[in-house]
Amino acid sequence: MKIFQIALGILAAIGGFVDIGDLVFNMQAGAKFQYSLLWVVVVGVVGIIVYSEMCGRVAAVSKRPVFDAIRERMGFGVGLGALVSSQIVNLMTLAAEVGGMALALELLSGLPYRALIVVGIVVLAIVIWVAPFDWIERIFGYCGLALLVFAVGAIKLHPDWSHVAHGFVPNVSSSEPLIYAYFAVGLLGAAMTPYEVYFYSSGAIEEGWTPKDLGLNKANAMIGYALGGFLSFALMITAGVLFFPQGIEPELIGTVGLGAQVPFGAIGLVLALVGILFAVGGAAIDTCFSGAYNLAQFFGWEWGKHRRPRDAPRFTIAWAVLLLLALLVIMTGIDPVMLTEYAVIFSVVALPLTYIPILLVANDTAYMGRYTNGRVANAFGLVYLVIIMLVAVSAIPLMIITHQGQG
């Protein structure tokens, strides 16, 4: 029974790994540089595993979610700065995910895009209101597994596997180093988005984790995210086979779907779109909750889906308002793919403010007792802190110099 539970959690983590940031950056990176950025995805996936495991452990042992730690360690001022920046990025991401949902629905149904945005928001609101926390995670996670069509598709497209293997060896493109660096930063940002750790740690508290669940935490973070990373590889390989030789740049969600249509025909396209719909829809809920968690935790309000809405009213109002704001943003007609790129790049800048407090608290015996970081977790944690700093400093200059990777 325990194994079964863990397996279910892992499945949901795989399906929940990919969001619109991963879709956009993996596809574009594959189309532009074929397989040569695959190694960056590995770096990003290991990073999210290291920090998710850490913040899951902190949550299970000390019952403190990430934003509590941010305010407690960084103080009110810096904490508020982190709150404001993370809320802006969260809103951009949420709006982009909703736009992605509407694009997938449009391709599936043929109905007008703007009407589908409204439908998407209403459905999300009802699901959040009605369904219990673990059900939300599972429904979207399992249906998101339809994205596995890209994994099977990538094999069926017969890529040159020796080229693919070379992509896993760290390398630097000599022809367009700055654009290459821009995509590397974007891929890292997409894999290590801050909202994932906010959501992961608050989710652990929602589900009432205790030190007994540390095994589950390790399994979810390591196996779930590692297998989720395979979906990222599959997306990049697919784009590398199909779009790179033709010089196509996938600017639309529909082009992404093509990656499954070529090997499998119409059924492949439908599976891809359903997968995208649920992966992106699940991510929309995660970002929406993350925004409400952060706000409630910073100000000390009651929060959580495990409370009834009337017992956590400001938290409830917060997620509802975020959904409404996302609706307004995406209804302006802004391109979700472009919005995604901005959201991922800006989120990279906010990464250190999120990850430094996690590392500090995970080493603090006052919080963690005997469950503080071991040597391995600290070694990885420090290496990634350096990577995150480098990436945070270079993200916006690279975006400006390369005109968002356009050259």
Partner 1 sequence: MSEELDLGLGLLDHQLVDCDGRRCGNVDDLELEGLREGALRVTAILVGPPVWRGRGWFGRIASALATGPTVRVPWEEVEKIDSAVHLKKTARELRLGRGDDKARRFVDWIPGS
Give the footprint of partner 1 on this chain (CB under 8 A). Answer: 62-64, 68, 71-73, 75-81, 129-130, 296-303, 308-314, 316-317, 366-367
CA–CA separation, 406 vs 401, rounded Å?
10
Q: Cβ of residue 307: shortest distance to partner 1, in angstroms? A: 9
Shortest Cβ distance from residue 358 to partner 1 (Å)?
14
Angstrom CA distances, 266 to 10, 91, 242, 258, stand at 29, 34, 17, 10
CB of 61 to partner 1, least distance (A): 9
CB of 77 to partner 1, least distance (A): 4
The contacts of residue 219 (CB under 8 Å, 6+ apart) are 6, 9, 10
In Å, how far are 100, 108, 142, 263, 302 from 251, measured between CA atoms?
A: 12, 18, 27, 20, 41
Burial label, 168 (beta-carbon count in 10 A; 0-12, 13-18, 19+): middle
* Minimum CB–partner distance for residue 371 and partner 1 (Å): 12
Please state the closest distance from residue 313 (CB atom) to partner 1, in A.
4
Nearer residue to partner 1 within complex by CB, 39 or 299: 299
Cβ proximity to partner 1: between 195 and 298 the closer is 298
Q: How far is the CB of 208 from partner 1 (least distance, A)?
A: 12
Nearest distance, CB of residue 302 and partner 1, angstroms: 5
User: For 313-328, b where at least 16 C-beta lie within 10 A, e where not — what string?
Assistant: eebbebbbebbeebbe
d(CA 321, CA 318): 5
Residue 122 phi/psi, 5-degree rounding, is -65, -45
Closest contact distance (angstroms) between CB of 70 and partner 1 is 9
Q: Are 282 and 146 in contact (CB under 8 A)?
A: no
> CA gyration radius for the chain?
20
In the complex with partner 1, the residue whose CB is nearer, 368 or 391, is: 368
Contacts by 379-387, CB closer than 8 A, 24 or more apart? 380/46, 380/50, 381/50, 381/51, 381/54, 384/46, 384/47, 384/50, 384/51, 384/355, 385/352, 385/355, 385/356, 385/359, 387/43, 387/47, 387/188
Q: Considering the complex, state which of residue 295 and residue 398 has its C-beta at the smaller distance from partner 1.
A: 295
* Of 337, 338, 314, 336, residue with least CA distance to 326: 336
Q: How many CB atoms lie within 10 A of CB 368?
A: 18
Residue placing its CB nearer to partner 1 in the complex, 358 or 399? 358
* 3 state SS of 307: coil
Give whole-number Cα distances, 200 to 52, 59, 113, 188, 374, in Å: 7, 9, 31, 18, 21
Nearer to partner 1, 148 or 317 (CB): 317
The amino acid sitting at 115 is A
Least spacing, CB of residue 177 vs partner 1, in Å: 38
Which lies closer to partner 1 via its Cβ, residue 277 or residue 285?
Answer: 285
Nearer CB in complex with partner 1: 214/222: 214
- Closer by beta carbon to partner 1, 309 or else 352: 309
User: Closer CB to partner 1, residue 277 or residue 318?
Assistant: 318
